[in-house]
Structure 1
Amino acid sequence: METRELRYFVAVAEELHFGRAAQRLGIAQPPLSRAIQQLERRLGVALLERTSRTVTLTEAGSVLLVEGRAALDAVDAADRRTRRAALAATGHPGLVLVMKAGASSELLSKLLDTYAAEPGAVTVDVLLCGIAEQERLLRDGRADVALLHRPFDSTTGLDTEELRTEGQVVVLPAGHPFTGRAHLTMADVTALPGLPLPRWPGPDGTYTDGPGPEARDSTQLYELIALGRAAAVLPESCRTHLRRDLTAVPVLDAPAVTTVIAWPPHSRSQALAGLVRTASLL
């Protein structure tokens, strides 16, 4: 299969409409239809079921949509990493580190300061992102390395080094009756009247179902809590940058959170190796 054919097929499979897919791709509809037919002949299977009004995926088409997306993501990631490696070879070395905005800021500051003092250190650009985005940015090649948090972020297929493990706290509006408690349990948290837990976006950007408000970053989340619209269970280190109108209470039975530095397993970057080595010694 050619990359061009995969891009064409994914566009049609996502739009389920040849006209819209052609417009999205910037091509005419007849060559798009011919390309899909050629792909089906080459594979020997029907990928789409067409009527005069609808386009639907066959079982084989559904499989190719998943695999095709992954293949195209890998091609795009290879393109970005190759270009960055070329820049490094011409005297412009550097690393892009991605992390969730508002998370592990104290740890990151210590890491960057310590690494900058190392011989041969390169510039590290920090890319801040929303909830659940840092893993995707690392996998698609827009970042060289990431700070991830297990069990919330998947590290499958990545190389990792554990940096620290911590408990969790529930963040509440200042003045809430529970702020005087020494600790709470998850049962206490889920039963908080009028303070539901927020809903986070998944890897595909869609939000989970539930009664809580949607939250996409820490700034929005803290505002919702301060307004008495939500509560949130977060790693204990969030205390270091907590607003004055918020407070935190330990949650005894919440799962521990492990911060890891993660990178693609095929990386051969000496600069990345140096950053990881520094992180492991913090």
Structure 2
Amino acid sequence: METRELRYFVAVAEELHFGRAARRLGIAQPPLSRAIRQLERRLGVTLLERDSRSVALTAAGSVLLREGRAALDAVDAADRRTRRAGQAVNGGPGLVLATKAGASSELLPKLLDAYAAEPDAVPVEVLLCGIGEQERLLRDGRADVALLHLPFDSTTGLDTEELVTEQQVAVLPAGHPLARRPHLLMAEVETLSGLPMPRWPRADGSYPEGLGPEVRDHAQLFQLIALGRTAVVLPESVRTLLLADLAAVPVPDAPAVTTVIAWPPHSRSRPLAALIRTATRL
């Protein structure tokens, strides 16, 4: 299969309409139809059931859609990483590290300082991401390495090293009655505080249904908490970011959060290996 054919098929499979897929690809519809028929002949299977009014995926087409997306993502990631490697030779960034903005606030500066002191260190560009974005940046090749947080981020298919595990705290308005408690249970945060939990974006950018406010980043989240619009449970290291108008109360029954450093399993970058060694030593 050619990547061109895969891109054509994925467009049709996602649109379920040859005309819309052709417009999306910027080509005429007849060559798109011929390309799909040629792909089906080459594979020896029917990928799409079509009639005069509709297009539907077959079981084989559903498999190719899933595998094709992964293959195209891998090709795009290879393109980005190769270009970045060439830029590094010409003085561009040596490594790109993705991390959630506001997270790992103690670990990240220590890691960057310790790595910069290594004799063969290269420049590190830090991408500060929204909720859940660092995993996508790592997988699509825009980042070489990322700090992820279990159990919230997926590390499937990535190599990882665990760096630190911490308990969680409830972040409340400083004047809230529960803020004076020595500790809280998860059920108490959700039921006794009277404050709805925030809604974080999904991988596709949409938000789940609920009463809590939609939250994009920590700065917005903390302002909403201070205004008495929401409460949240976060890793204990968040204490270093809180101002006087917010309070943190331990939540012993909340699941522990483990920060891991993650990278693509096929990477053979010596600078990346040195950064990972530095992180595990810290």
TM-score calculated relative to the size of structure 2: 0.94
Give 1:256's aligned amino acid. Answer: A
Structure 1 residues without counterparts, runs of 5 or longer: none
Moved more, 85-94 or 234-243: 85-94
Q: 1:193 to 1:91 in 2, by over 3 A?
A: closer
- Contact 2:114-2:278 within 8 A present in 1 as well: yes
- Find the aligned partners of 1:255 and 1:156 in 2 and give their Cα distance: 20
- Find the aligned partners of 1:225 and 1:61 in 2 and give their Cα distance: 46
- Find the aligned partners of 1:17 and 1:221 in 2 and give their Cα distance: 40
SS of corresponding position for 1:262:
strand
- Find the aligned partners of 1:216 and 1:15 in 2 and give their Cα distance: 28
Moved more, 85-94 or 242-251: 85-94
Q: 1:241 to 1:193 in 2, by over 3 A?
A: closer
- Find the aligned partners of 1:56 and 1:222 in 2 and give their Cα distance: 46
The offset of 1:105, in angstroms, is 1.8
- What is the match of residue 74 of structure 1? 74
- What is the match of residue 147 of structure 1? 147
- Find the aligned partners of 1:134 and 1:57 in 2 and give their Cα distance: 32
- Find the aligned partners of 1:56 and 1:243 in 2 and give their Cα distance: 54
SS of corresponding position for 1:225:
helix
- What is the match of residue 259 of structure 1? 259
Give 2:258's aligned amino acid. Answer: T
SS of corresponding position for 1:105:
coil
- Contact 1:97-1:127 within 8 A present in 2 as well: yes
How big is the alpha-carbon RMSD for the aligned residues of Structure 1 and Structure 2? 1.6
- What is the match of residue 274 of structure 1? 274
- Contact 1:194-1:229 within 8 A present in 2 as well: no
The offset of 1:91, in angstroms, is 5.5
- Contact 2:93-2:124 within 8 A present in 1 as well: no
Q: How does 1:1-282 map to 2 (within 5 A)?
A: 1-90=1-90, 92=92, 94-282=94-282
Q: 1:223 to 1:55 in 2, by over 3 A?
A: farther
Question: Could you give the per-residue CA deviations for residues 186-209 of structure 1, whole angstroms, max 9, x where no partner exists?
Answer: 111121354121222233333333
- Find the aligned partners of 2:240 and 2:35 in 1 and give their Cα distance: 56
- Find the aligned partners of 2:165 and 2:74 in 1 and give their Cα distance: 31
Question: Could you give the per-residue CA deviations for residues 218-245 of structure 1, whole angstroms, max 9, x where no partner exists?
Answer: 1222222222221111000111011332
Question: Could you give the per-residue CA deviations for residues 33-90 of structure 1, whole angstroms, max 9, x where no partner exists?
Answer: 1111111222222222223332222222222111111110011111111222233345
- Contact 2:199-2:214 within 8 A present in 1 as well: yes
- Contact 2:47-2:59 within 8 A present in 1 as well: yes
- Find the aligned partners of 1:169 and 1:30 in 2 and give their Cα distance: 59
Q: Percent same amino acid among aligned pairs?
A: 79
Moved more, 41-50 or 161-170: 41-50
The offset of 1:93, in angstroms, is 5.8
Give 1:214's aligned amino acid. Answer: E
- Find the aligned partners of 2:81 and 2:34 in 1 and give their Cα distance: 33
The offset of 1:92, in angstroms, is 4.5
- Find the aligned partners of 1:245 and 1:27 in 2 and give their Cα distance: 56
Q: 1:220 to 1:54 in 2, by over 3 A?
A: farther
- Find the aligned partners of 1:33 and 1:222 in 2 and give their Cα distance: 52
